[in-house]
Structure 1
Amino acid sequence: MIIFDLKCAPQGHVFEAWFGSSEDYERQQARGLVSCPLCGSAEVAKAPMSPAVGAKGNQGEGLPPEQVKKLLGAMADAQKKMLETSEHVGPRFADEARAIHLGEAEARAIHGQATPEQAGELREEGIPVAPLPFPVIAPEEEN
């Protein structure tokens, strides 16, 4: 695992993101899967980071790698369960979320794709949306 400090261009939000490797970050970035968790912008780049300095022997080193792996696995399992109980609406996500919010469509859990602009508009309209913590391969993208 590698942690990068990332920064969105439009708002300047700085946030941490975890990736399996530098190559994983590059692949996800190229596919448009990396976005700001605060504003949804996909205009994200690596931010300057302070160098990793080892802790003194008398100080804690944070969570052990095994515990981090266990916690990430639990998050992935929770996301999988949520996806199993929600409907994939693909690129129609913004329209479906709005229709559900306005009572024009059946209330149900959905997931799909939205541009950062669409996600921002939904939030401005009071419609709760959030990016998933891990990338999802949509049914039409599977091999």
Structure 2
Amino acid sequence: MICYRLRCRTGHEFEGWYRDSATFAQLQAGGLLSCPECGNADVQQALMAPAIARQSRTAQAETVAEKPAGAVLPDQMLAALQKIRQAVEAGCDNMGSRFAEEALRIHHKEAPERGIYGQASEEDRAMLAEEGVTTLTIPWVRRADG
């Protein structure tokens, strides 16, 4: 996991955690990132100071207990994940348990290129990765309207 310090166009700063830089870039390019304070979708990386020194266990516990300014709260994170779910459902086809099969068909140009979502086992994800198919795993939270 990688943590980015982010800033929206209106100047709000917040953190975002991503599997890797490619995942961040894909979500950003797809317009799936938004500010938890104002909802602005124009989100860019902010400058960050690298963490160099390792803290003692006591210092780590104290740091975790303090809420840094602009930190994403659980309700805001849930709202962001609900927006991602809404965007995925609106713009992609649900393949259910046939996700891996359809992703492979699209990759081999045997099916029309489009966004899809569904369930995939660890073995399916490993097979797709070997074939060169890029997939994202996202937390699937309850819908905002229900």
Please give the TM-score of this superposition, normalised by the length of structure 2. 0.48
Please give the TM-score of this superposition, normalised by the length of structure 1. 0.49
